[in-house]
Chain A
Amino acid sequence: MAELAVETRDLTRVFTQRRRIFRRRNAENGGAEGPVTALNGVGIEIRQGELFGLLGPNGAGKTTLIKILATLLLPTSGVAKVAGFDVTRDTFQIRTRINMVSGGETSGYGLLTTRENIWMFSQFYGVQSKVAKERVDALLHTFGLWEKRNAKVRTLSSGQRQKMNMIRGFVTDPSIFFLDEPTLGLDVNASRVIREYVKNWVQTEEDKTVLLTTHYMMEADEMCDRLAIINNGQILAVDTPANLKRRLKKDTTFRIEVDPLKDVAVFKAIRGVKNFSLTSDGGSSLAKLTFILEDEAAVSDIVSEVVRQGSRIHYLQKSEPTLEDVFISMVGRSLE
């Protein structure tokens, strides 16, 4: 059995509100400001050489988990180990072996060139200057940023900047790489370059491990060897993307697009409906619904209900389950 790159047991992180003399009342909770449980008893095992995904909506606890593993945050309770070292005690040993890149990162100095900026960060990991410069040049070519090597960082576009951030992470040759929504807000081309490089890196380099957090289903499906679905600080399932989708094989997925509905909660009560999600189409006034059905016969009741509410069906399709459907069946809402 392969050695574990990351291991957590019953990991919990609770954020307490800071005390302030003049506290603004929070309208949503009637003024009470209690602790927030970002992670609740999380247990995962990531093997060396694995590209492991953490899939969940905003606020699910993905970034908190990565920050604990990257030694930036202490757990409230439980155990977290990276490369066999404890995150609370063995920070130096862990830090020499890891790196992290987050989506939308604005790190670095605008006055430095792309090349200088990456080199500077490599020095904080003790990489020999000559080796660092060779790596930087090679990675600049790979990520299609060679033309911008002498451009000041402040002149880079967000896509170019994120590619630079990725090079910053890879230049230290980490054993374990944490990627927190690395393609957030990037165009298709920049996202594709990053995904392909990360996937290739794990496959070709020996014993390199990646923990990728994302809320892009396609990204998780395409890249990850295994996935954990996380919601409200709890891990709901861990498996390969194929196995997760297989869990829904006995269920049926229907997607429909209808005119806006008065009441969608009523669908939950229809017999045979396991779960459903509603997403409005930003470009039109149509409501998009995805149903996970335990009994296909429920379709006629759904259609009847739509008609009863005076709405019109514009589109109806039975489809193969996707990771999105897996998520909906577990959480009861879409990731978007």
Chain B
Amino acid sequence: MTTTVNPVTLNLRAVWGRAYVRIVGANREPSWIFFDGILPLLGIAAYVFIYEGFFRGISTPEARAALNALVGFVVLGGVMIAFWMNVLWSMASQLYWEKEMGNLQLYMMAPMSRLALLGGMAIGGIFMTSVRALVTLIAGIYVFGVHFTLANPLLLLAVFFVTLIALYGMGMMFASLYLLWGREAYHMSALLEEPIFLVSGFYFPIGAFPQVGAWGRAIAIGGSIIPATLGLDALRQILFPATTASFQFLDVQTELLLLVVLAVVFLILARHTLGYMEMLARREGRLTARHQ
């Protein structure tokens, strides 16, 4: 009775197997175009109309540049919101839903690494959400007329991908914790949604917080634990360099460094919480069983 499996090949196949569900399965129903592509634009449009209202009748080049930057902030925020929502609802709470669907016990019984499973979810989620985020970005450019300055594309890509790794690492860590919390997972996601929108600066630059006093600085620092906060601030600085100087929270290099640290920390924590979750599941016999 001998069976040899190369763990590296096994885990790479597991990553692709799980990512496939999101890459192919989730785009199979065209309804996503309406729900994930068009509906999010409404929230962005509301802020765009407010900002345009402020600048109505002012047509100086400085005012036009400021308006372009503000609308651009909101569009970028919309892009990042798509990823944050995916992390919250499709990564953090995913193991809980897998348990309810009856998949979790099959995942736990399979020889693949638990990180490969979550890694597959994350890669699939990144791809799936990128398609949705692209819709938001294209709408920003063509519908709202935003002009981006692409002076340093490499730095832009580095910040974007490190942000995603840190963000999905955080989602992987939450996945185990949510499973331990059981049915409260759903409420936990709902609870985290709106406050994070505020403290992460999805609709306005996070650098505005420190300007309103010590408590504003505390919120900005606290909000930085969420990778989207620093990532978004850095992306805005790269894409709107002229107008973000007065709203800069930290410089781009520092933010990139902090994002790398967050990515490493979250991935390490995710590995440990997954191990703990599995040990608890085997010891107590309830975490992988449905409706318990």
A-to-B contact residues, CB < 8 Å? 3, 5, 13, 15, 18, 48, 64, 67, 70-74, 83-84, 92, 95-100, 105-109, 111-112, 116, 119-127, 129, 175, 207
Contact = CB atoms under 8 A, between A and B. Distances in A.
B21 A124 contact: no
22 contacts: A15-B285, A18-B286, A71-B282, A72-B281, A72-B288, A98-B109, A99-B109, A100-B109, A106-B102, A107-B103, A108-B103, A109-B21, A120-B18, A121-B106, A122-B17, A123-B18, A124-B17, A124-B18, A125-B10, A125-B112, A126-B6, A126-B11
Contacts of A64: 285
The 10 A-B residue pairs whose C-beta atoms are closest, nearest first, are A123-B17, A126-B10, A124-B110, A95-B111, A111-B25, A123-B13, A74-B282, A96-B111, A106-B102, A107-B102
Interface of B: 1, 3, 5-7, 9-11, 13-14, 16-18, 20-21, 24-26, 28-29, 101-103, 105-112, 117, 281-286, 288
Contacts of B24: 112, 116
Given A96-B3, A100-B109, A126 B285 contact: no
A106 B106 CA distance: 11
Nearest to B20: A120
Contacts of B11: 126
B109 A70 contact: yes
B109 A111 contact: no
Given A111-B26, A121-B17, 6 more contacts: A72-B109, A73-B285, A83-B1, A107-B101, A108-B103, A124-B14
A73 B10 contact: no
Contacts of A74: 282-283
Given A73-B282, A74-B283, A126 B112 contact: yes
Nearest to B10: A126
A262 to B, nearest CB: 40
Contacts of B102: 105-107
Contact of A97 (B1, B21, B28): B1
B1 A72 contact: no
A158 to B, nearest CB: 13
Contacts of A207: 1
B14 A126 contact: yes
Contacts of B101: 106-109
A175 B5 CA distance: 14
Contacts of A3: 1
The interface centre, meaning the residue of B9, B102, B106, B286 with most chain A CB atoms within 10 A of its CB, is: B106
B20 A116 contact: yes
With a 10 A CB-CB cut-off, give which of A98, A111, A127 has the most chain B CB atoms.
A111
Contacts of A129: 13
A96 B109 contact: no
Contacts of B105: 72
Interface centre among A71, A73, A124 (most CB of B within 10 A): A124
A111 B1 contact: no
Contacts of A92: 7, 111
Nearest to A112: B25
A262 B285 CA distance: 43
Nearest to A75: B282
Chain A CB within 10 Å, residue with most, of B5, B26, B103, B110: B110
